[in-house]
Amino acid sequence: MPKADLFTGDNYRGYELAQKDQKYSRRYLDRAIDLVETMTERHSKVLTVRVDVRYPQNINSDGTNKDFQHLTENMMKEYERKGYDPQYIARREQKKSKNPHLHLGLALDGSKKRDRNSVIEDIENQWGNVLGITPEEIHASKLIYPCNTDSQGNARPNGFLIERPKRGDIDGLIKYQEDKDAAVRQLSYLCKREDEDMTPSRTRKIFTSQYRKDYETAMESKRKWREKYLSRKMRDDGNN
């Protein structure tokens, strides 16, 4: 990783990060922050979910990202079909285990999908399909780990429902910013530089959906609609 990409600190672009004095990738941090910012600009409610994806002990990964890519592709197709506007950022990692694992953060249209537990069930089904085992086996072995406890075993949220406040709602605005900050802080964990990671240098470590491209497309459509609306309104006003 180039030195220019390294960031060490506890605050980046105005957001508090997951761990103090941790080495991060600026490029990865930018992607995590862009994910939250583009989705909250696009939707009045955004649901975020954090999970870890693991292999069972009796299955050996082939060392590639093929299984992880199948999982994310299948998830995106399912949620796109349901109109959830799915976006994600994921980080492959491998330390002492014989298999790699995946840190995964999802963001969905919170007006259409509000239940994090059902999202986890969906991921369990998709991971079971990829590995050829039942969702029940996936669940029993916690191969889709919900990331709902910290290193000391204390309960913590594994995602947030970020809800844009109504105009003039000060309490709602404070809650909105707190949840947005918390979502970025949670996703920043995926952006760490791990010196102990055994992933080969030529193997891709970070995966993201096209949320920046999708955002720009959505904003362009919105701009064209606004211009068309204003043009029609001016024409109608001129006829009155």
**Weakest-pLDDT range from 61-65, 105-109, 174-178:** 61-65
End-to-end CA distance of the chain: 64
Q: Is pLDDT of 152 > 90?
A: no
Q: Which residues contact 211 (CB under 8 A, 6 or more apart)?
A: 34, 35, 38, 39, 87, 107
Contact assessment for residue 14 and residue 37, using Cβ atoms and an 8 Å cutoff: no
pLDDT level of residue 20 (50, 70, 90 thresholds): confident
Can you give the pTM of this predicted structure?
0.85
16-30, 99-113, 226-240, range with the lowest pLDDT:
226-240
Residues 122-137 have a mean pLDDT of 96
Measured in whole angstroms, the distance separating CA 181 from the mean position of its chain's CA atoms is 14
Q: What is the pLDDT of residue 178?
A: 97
Tokens read off for 8: 């060490």
pLDDT confidence tier of residue 132, bands split at 50, 70 and 90: very high
Chain mean pLDDT for the chain: 90
Q: Give the CA distances from residue 219 to residues 4, 42, 86, 130, in Å, rounded to whole numbers and listed in that order.
A: 31, 8, 17, 35
Write down the pLDDT at residue 212: 59
State yes or no: pLDDT of 215 exceeds 60: no
Mean pLDDT of 69-96: 94
Amino acid 233: pLDDT: 62
| pLDDT at residue 186 in the model | 96
Longest dimension (CA), the chain: 76
Query: How far is the C-alpha of 125 from the C-alpha of 216, rounded, in Å?
Result: 32
Tell me the average pLDDT across 110-125: 96
Give the helix/strand (H/E) hosting 60: none
25-76: pLDDT as tens digits: 999 999 999 999 999 999 999 999 999 999 999 999 998 999 999 999 999 9
* Predicted pLDDT of residue 41: 92
